[in-house]
Amino acid sequence: MSNSADSDNEDYMSSKYLTEIPLSSTTKPKTYSELRRQKLSSKSGYIKPLREREKESREQGLSKRIDDNADSPGLKLLKKMGYEIGKPLGKDSSGITEPINIEMKSDKSGLGLSSELKQKAEAELSRKAKRAKISEESFIERVRKEQVEKKINAQLNKAQKVCETLDTRKGIMDNIFWLSKENEESDEETSEFEQLSSAEKLDNILKYMREKYNYCFWCGCEYSNVEELEQLCPGIEDDDHD
């Protein structure tokens, strides 16, 4: 009985128990810096995967030229066959001077297939680029044409109104140049005028007003006579009036 009482009263904080706690648990790092240090130190022993090591040594090897290394067995062999550093290869020295570029294959398709596909893809790409450039150019051209057309139409519209005002003042009741078409009957002259382009219509109307009324559309005024018009108006074109 006394024995069991003894064991019940055992001191669990005595060295008997504390020393039995596994060492690893006491050495376990607690702070972040400790953890980081542990991580770094474990990295020094890190071994890269074979695939990665292969790739590194391959790239290292390929980046070196054979003639950079005088001890290279390959260079010695080449020299024995008459090769001189920097000279092209071949019997008549018409070969390449630079090493053949090596591309690693990563797929399972045949060599011929991949190069054929590559060529096709490149051709398609250049076709697309060409097409895109053409459509871009035609787009810019179209926008530019539309802007010019719009400007001319606005000028034509204005010129037709001015023409009507000038004509009406002189008692002329009908003119094919007018904007408002009250008489719908299409005589030959009207339809001929209607078939002209906006720029041609504008030209015709401006010429008419200039000759009949000494009116310059670009100056925006009616001169009292031809002499005045010729003296004061810089010219018959829009560009003359800048």
Q: Which residues bind Zn ion (CB under 5 A)?
A: 216, 218-219, 233
- List the Cα angle 103/109/112 in 5-degree steps: 70
If the CB atoms of residues 140 and 232 are measured against Zn ion, the closer one turns out to be 232
Report, in Å, the least distance between residue 195 CB and Zn ion: 28
Element (H, E) at 216: strand 215-216
If the CB atoms of residues 74 and 234 are measured against Zn ion, the closer one turns out to be 234
If the CB atoms of residues 174 and 238 are measured against Zn ion, the closer one turns out to be 238
In the numeric block, which tokens belong to residue 180? Answer: 């408002």
If the CB atoms of residues 90 and 220 are measured against Zn ion, the closer one turns out to be 220
Report, in Å, the least distance between residue 202 CB and Zn ion: 14
Q: For the stretch 114-153, what's the b/e string if a residue is b when 16 or more beta carbons lie within 10 angstroms of its beta carbon?
A: eeeeeeeeeeeeeeeeeeeeeeeeeeeeeeeeeeeeeebe
Q: What are phi and psi of 75, to 5 degrees?
A: -65, -40
Report, in Å, the least distance between residue 228 CB and Zn ion: 11
Report, in Å, the least distance between residue 172 CB and Zn ion: 23
